[in-house]
């Protein structure tokens, strides 16, 4: 709990420094509004139904994206990780697709799918799938043969050793992938809302703030909310992972 | 692992590389056939995309190795922005991460803040960056630096902190002077994690390059948004695929550097 | 013979107040120069703490350590340590030769001299021609030879060895034991070696100090009057050897040793099992190698996991 307090102190210190820098004129106020103004806007926005609906729309899109990314990434990773031939065959394809930034696909998706919720979900799934896929491939590819041999020696058949040995072994790694994917999916959803000017969503709200004569307080309030949401989701998953996989210390180390 | 096994492994990797690229070629052919059957402007044939790409990239005079104006006016400036900003982040991030990681208490206070900053979607900060730096290279660089810095810092902190206690004891018992400590013990031990952060941030740099260019109107990003609004979908596909190729090439180059620098590491099953 | 190491009233406790744990209490002994002394004690008795205090890696909370008359505060220049876990103690980013040269860098030895001395010492531990390899390319036994070479290269007045052969297989272990005795006699160095293996302590040493359970105290100081030339087979079957090792084993199981450990029953039980093990057979080597393998696989998993994550 004391570390939490220290972390919070650091965070508050950052906002305080921001406030002082703007008030003292180190940062011109037409560059960035003072933290207090952003905080006021933040509180006002939280009271607006319209804004809350936008946030809910974003979170819903995020949740669906993450679900689909897991549903696609884990089975695909299982296949690629346990069948080496498939993995080496698809390597170039994956390595080529992965670096294409989801945002660069926005124009493409806009002309084919439009700018509705399915567009941002499609792109967020695309962006979030990679860490899940790679961690799953890794988890199943690197399983210690001794573990599988012990399972077989103990009389487990192929399916039983998959369920009772391979899956528990892989779970912490997959979970780490899901956690990273969760952050990426949120950033992707908001970014696509912003770039593609989606009908509704937090990103769209920030875009409007930026366009309407530079309402930077609205931009910053929205961005801070997005950052806090991403941070909260990540922290919750880190904590959850530690509870779930007490027997493995991968989560502790692979924190990013 | 002895040397012959490593060599044998290399051979196997080379063999599988052939299969890998064969499958890649098959995928491109499949694209061609599907596009041929679909017959829609949104999904052009692969040969058309590659043809457009060749026209754009290889339209120059022979003395420039046929490289067209687009290479010098669009591709290289975009790459220079991304790589320059990324290199700046790397230097700053490793320095900052080392300082934070060596301090006993700094991360207690800054850890949460950095995690928060990393969770901020850089895209939505674009309006702020535009106001601060105007539209142009400066704004693009600022956006890329902001988004690539945190992963490097966090990975460096992690690397610097995870130096094995036995190595610390060994180095002390062998009389390593304080001023060599960082260079001889801490940074080499942290290097694998630093490289992991560098690779992650390189892909982010390309992503932010495109975003900043779409918003700011320059380079590859501008071409993607222009070709979309002017219904030149074949060229748009080309630029998107070029990003994939560039990302692949840059990642491979960084991996090669990593293999060189981290040549001391036990052979890793690196699949890239 | 002059006194090389003088430990008097050495005490070390971790933590303060109620949670304090006394690892070493009021230890006093001396080591003469040119001696090869072994400290044997049940595992968890504070042997490692003792060694870390002597090497100056941690300051003792009480008493003093003197190396050839000088009070030890901080790591002395002419002292070297060989740790049990060679895979963690060798610097993986340096070649074998650079690892061995490492301590010479800080002693302003010219580069050419460094190279020559590293080659010489590698040869004396039977490792000529591997200087350009990286540690992980060598077998466990060879890696520990590199550690020994690195410790010897600066010709330290005192060489401390912390369970140096506990992580290698039984056969390699015998070879390393003979190597240690050979180089010790060739170089006339003073060695203090800590082990929980009774046979090893008797076979190696000129003198064996038997420690009690934590907090460590000396219960016996035995002269090992075996002939200087020792052989893995004939020495170990000699009557003298067998009676000495039985004596040490009895000392370790004596109520005097066990009584001090009453406070923590589980610990005492564990220690009894350990010493029983050591007395019975050298099964420890196998389990040592096993745990080592675990750390290795674990290490890869970690770094690759990071890589996998980083690919996002």
CB contact under 8 A, C77 and B175: yes
Enumerate the β-bridge partners of residue C38. C193, C208
Q: Contact, A48 vs A202, CB < 8 A? A: no
Does A177 touch chain C if contact means CB atoms closer than 8 Å?
yes
pLDDT at B160 over 90: yes
- The interface pTM score, or ipTM, of the predicted complex is 0.85
**pLDDT, chain B, mean:** 86
Does A140 touch chain C if contact means CB atoms closer than 8 Å?
no
Cβ-based neighbour number of residue B72 at 10 Å: 12
Nearest CA in chain C to A126: C312
Q: Residue B156: pLDDT band by 50, 70, 90 thresholds? A: very high
What CATH architecture applies to the domain B70-270?
Orthogonal Bundle (1.10)
When pLDDT is averaged across residues B240-263 and rounded to a whole number, the result is 90
Query: How many distinct helices (H) and strands (E) make up chain A?
Result: 12, 0
d(CA A182, CA A187): 9
Which of C296, C302, C305 should we substitute to test contact with A (largest number of A Cβ atoms within 10 Å)? C305
Please give the domain boundaries of chain C with CATH numbers for all domains: 3-78+157-258 (3.40.50.300), 84-155 (no CATH)
Enumerate the β-bridge partners of residue C160. C81, C192
- Which positions of chain A have pLDDT values less than 70? 1, 212-214, 248-256
pLDDT tens sequence across A186-221: 999 999 998 887 788 899 888 888 776 668 888 899
Nearest CA in chain B to A226: B120
- Helical H segments across chain B, by residue range: 3-38, 46-57, 69-70, 76-102, 106-119, 126-133, 137-161, 165-173, 178-181, 187-216, 219-229, 233-261
Residues of chain C with Cβ-Cβ distance to B272 below 8 Å are: 311
| Centroid of chain to Cα C64 | 21
Residues of chain A with Cβ-Cβ distance to B200 below 8 Å are: 256
pLDDT tens sequence across B182-209: 999 999 999 999 999 999 999 899 989 9
Does B185 touch chain C if contact means CB atoms closer than 8 Å?
yes
User: Which chains contact A through at least 3 pairs of Cβ atoms less than 8 Å apart?
Assistant: B, C
Task: Return residues 155-214 of B near A (CB < 8 Å).
Answer: 155, 158, 162, 197, 200, 203, 206-207, 210-211, 214
Q: Contact, C214 vs C45, CB < 8 A? A: yes
pLDDT tens sequence across A44-76: 998 999 899 999 999 999 999 999 999 999 999
Please name the helix (run of DSSP H) or strand (run of DSSP E) that holds residue A189, with its range, or none: helix A167-195
Residue A214 counted as domain residue? yes
pLDDT attached to residue B4? 43
Category of C34 on φ-ψ map: left (φ > 0), alpha (ψ -120 to 50) or beta: left
d(CA B134, CA A44): 29
In the sheet where C190-195 sits, what is the strand order? C79-82, C158-162, C190-195, C36-40, C207-211, C218-223
pLDDT attached to residue A211? 75
d(CA B34, CA B43): 9
Which of B121, B151, B271 should we substitute to test contact with A (largest number of A Cβ atoms within 10 Å)? B121
Residue A3 counted as domain residue? no
Give me the domain span that covers residue A91.
34-254
Q: At A23, list the tokens.
A: 């008030």
Does A235 touch chain B if contact means CB atoms closer than 8 Å?
yes
Residue A12 counted as domain residue? no
pLDDT at B218 over 50: yes
In tens digits, what is the pLDDT along chain C, a chain of 312 residues? 688 899 999 989 888 877 888 888 888 999 999 999 999 988 777 888 899 899 989 888 888 899 988 888 888 888 999 998 888 899 989 999 999 999 998 888 899 999 999 999 999 898 988 989 999 889 989 999 999 999 999 889 899 999 999 888 888 899 999 999 998 988 888 999 999 899 999 999 999 999 887 777 888 888 888 888 888 889 999 999 999 999 999 888 876 655 444 433 334 334 333 333 333 333 333 333 333 333 333 333 333 333 333 333
Nearest CA in chain B to A6: B109
**pLDDT, chain A, mean:** 86
Task: Return residues 11-30 of A near B (CB < 8 Å).
Answer: 11, 13-14, 30
Residues of chain B with Cβ-Cβ distance to A142 below 8 Å are: 269
d(CA C47, CA C12): 11
Strands C3-14 and C70-71: unpaired
pLDDT attached to residue C257? 58
Does A65 touch chain C if contact means CB atoms closer than 8 Å?
no
Residue reference for tokens 């999916």:
A185
The beta-carbon neighbor of C312 closest among A137, A138, A180 is: A180
Torsion sign, CA atoms B168, B171, B174, B180: negative
pLDDT at B269 over 70: no
Does A169 touch chain C if contact means CB atoms closer than 8 Å?
no
CB contact under 8 A, C137 and B193: no
Nearest CA in chain C to A98: C312
Three-class secondary structure assignment of A109-171: HHHHCCCCHHHHHHHHHHHHHHHHHHHHHHHHHCCCHHHHHHHHHCCCCHHHHHHHHHHHHHH
pLDDT attached to residue B8? 52
Does C109 touch chain B if contact means CB atoms closer than 8 Å?
no
pLDDT attached to residue C81? 92
- What is the number of domains present in chain A? 1
CATH number of A83's domain:
1.10.3720.10
CB contact under 8 A, B192 and C303: yes
Residues of chain A with Cβ-Cβ distance to B143 below 8 Å are: none
Enter the pTM of the model: 0.81
d(CA B22, CA B30): 12
Q: Contact, A221 vs A46, CB < 8 A? A: no
Residue closest to C302 by CA, chosen among B218, A90, A138, A25:
A138
Task: Return residues 131-150 of C near B (CB < 8 Å).
Answer: 134, 136-137, 150
The beta-carbon neighbor of C310 closest among B173, B189, B196 is: B196
Peptide bond into C215 cis (omega under 30): yes
What is the distance in angstroms between the Cα of B18 and the nearest Cα belonging to chain A? 9
Residue A17 counted as domain residue? no
Q: Contact, B175 vs B145, CB < 8 A? A: no
Residue closest to A119 by CA, chosen among A65, A182, A180, A67:
A65
What is the distance in angstroms between the Cα of C88 and the nearest Cα belonging to chain A? 18
What is the distance in angstroms between the Cα of A102 and the nearest Cα belonging to chain B? 8
Residue A15 counted as domain residue? no
pLDDT attached to residue C256? 61
Angle ∠(A17,A18,A23) on CA atoms, nearest 5: 95
Which of B123, B217, B255, B272 should we substitute to test contact with A (largest number of A Cβ atoms within 10 Å)? B123
Give me the phi and psi of A113, to 5 degrees please.
Answer: -105, -25
């Amino acid at each position: 709990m004391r570390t939490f307090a220290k972390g919070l102190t650091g965070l508050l210190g950052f906002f305080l420094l921001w406030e002082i820098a703007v008030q003292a004129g180190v940062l011109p106020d037409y560059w960035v509004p003072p933290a207090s103004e952003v905080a006021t806007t933040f509180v006002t926005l939280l009271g607006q139904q319209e804004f809350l609906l936008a946030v809910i729309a974003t979170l819903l899109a995020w949740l669906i994206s993450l679900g689909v990314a897991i549903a696609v990434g884990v089975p695909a990773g299982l296949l690629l990780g346990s069948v080496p031939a498939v993995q080496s065959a698809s390597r170039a394809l994956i390595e080529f697709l992965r670096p294409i930034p989801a945002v660069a696909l926005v124009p493409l998706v806009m002309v084919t799918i439009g700018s509705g919720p399915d567009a941002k979900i499609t792109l967020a799934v695309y962006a979030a799938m990679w860490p899940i896929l790679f961690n799953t491939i890794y988890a199943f590819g690197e399983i210690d043969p001794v573990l599988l041999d012990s399972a077989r020696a103990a009389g487990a058949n192929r399916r039983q050793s998959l369920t009772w040995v391979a899956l528990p072994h892989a779970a912490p790694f997959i979970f780490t992938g899901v956690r990273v994917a969760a952050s990426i999916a949120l950033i992707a959803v908001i970014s696509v809302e912003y770039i593609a000017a989606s009908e509704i969503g937090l990103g769209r709200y920030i875009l409007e703030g930026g366009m309407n004569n530079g309402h930077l307080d609205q931009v910053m309030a929205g961005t801070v909310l997005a950052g806090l949401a991403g941070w909260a989701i990540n922290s919750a998953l880190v904590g959850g992972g530690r509870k779930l996989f007490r027997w493995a210390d991968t989560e502790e180390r692979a924190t990013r | 692992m002895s040397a012959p096994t490593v060599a044998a492994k290399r051979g196997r990797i080379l063999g599988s590389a052939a299969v890998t690229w064969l499958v890649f070629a098959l995928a491109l052919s499949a694209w061609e056939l599907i596009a041929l059957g679909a017959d829609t402007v949104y999904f052009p044939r692969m040969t058309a995309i590659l043809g457009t790409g060749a026209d754009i990239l290889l339209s120059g005079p022979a003395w420039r190795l046929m490289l067209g104006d687009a290479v010098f006016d669009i591709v290289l400036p975009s790459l220079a922005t991304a790589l320059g900003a990324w290199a700046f982040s790397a230097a700053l991030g490793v320095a900052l991460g080392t300082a934070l990681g060596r301090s006993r208490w700094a991360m207690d206070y800054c850890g949460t803040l950095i995690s928060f900053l990393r969770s901020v979607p850089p895209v939505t900060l674009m309006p702020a960056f535009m106001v601060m730096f105007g539209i142009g290279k400066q704004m693009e660089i600022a956006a890329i630096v902001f988004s690539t810095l945190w992963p490097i810092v966090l990975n460096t902190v992690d690397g610097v902190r995870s130096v094995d206690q036995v190595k610390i004891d060994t180095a002390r018992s062998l009389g390593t002077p304080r001023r060599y400590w960082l260079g001889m013990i801490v940074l080499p031990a942290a290097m694998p994690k630093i490289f992991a952060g560098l690779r992650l941030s390189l892909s982010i740099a390309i992503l932010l390059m495109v975003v900043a260019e779409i918003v700011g109107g320059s380079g590859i990003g501008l071409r993607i948004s222009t070709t979309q609004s002017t219904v030149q979908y074949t060229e748009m596909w080309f630029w998107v695929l070029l990003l994939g190729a560039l990302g692949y090439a840059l990642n491979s180059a960084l991996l090669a550097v990593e293999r060189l620098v981290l040549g001391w590491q036990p052979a890793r099953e690196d699949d890239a | 013979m002059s006194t090389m190491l003088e430990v008097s009233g050495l005490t070390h406790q971790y933590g303060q107040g109620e949670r304090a744990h006394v690892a070493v209490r009021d230890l006093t002994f001396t080591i003469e120069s040119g001696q090869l002394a072994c400290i044997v004690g049940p595992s968890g008795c504070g042997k490692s703490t003792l060694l870390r205090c002597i090497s100056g890696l941690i300051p003792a909370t009480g008493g003093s350590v003197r190396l050839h008359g000088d009070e030890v505060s901080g790591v002395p220049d002419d002292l070297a340590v060989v740790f049990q876990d060679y895979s963690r103690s060798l610097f993986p980013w340096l070649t074998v030769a650079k690892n061995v040269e490492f301590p010479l860098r800080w002693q302003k030895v010219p580069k050419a001299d460094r190279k020559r001395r590293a080659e010489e010492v590698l040869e004396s531990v039977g490792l000529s021609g591997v200087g350009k390899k990286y540690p992980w390319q060598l077998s466990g036994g060879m890696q520990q030879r590199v550690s020994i070479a690195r410790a010897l290269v600066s010709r330290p007045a005192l060489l401390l060895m912390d369970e140096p052969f506990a992580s290698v297989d039984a056969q390699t272990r015998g070879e390393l034991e003979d190597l240690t005795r050979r180089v010790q006699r060739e170089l006339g160095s003073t060695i203090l070696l800590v082990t929980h293996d009774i046979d090893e302590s008797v076979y190696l040493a000129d003198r064996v100090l038997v420690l009690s359970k934590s907090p460590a105290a000396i219960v016996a100081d035995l002269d090992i009057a075996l002939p200087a030339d020792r052989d893995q087979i004939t020495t170990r079957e000699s009557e003298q050897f067998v009676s000495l090792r039985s004596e040490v084993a009895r000392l370790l199981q004596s109520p005097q040793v066990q009584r001090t450990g009453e406070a923590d029953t589980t610990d005492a039980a564990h220690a009894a099992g350990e010493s029983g093990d050591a007395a019975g057979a050298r099964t420890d080597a196998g389990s040592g190698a096993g745990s080592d393998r675990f750390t290795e696989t674990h290490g890869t998993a970690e770094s690759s996991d990071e890589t996998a994550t980083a690919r996002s």
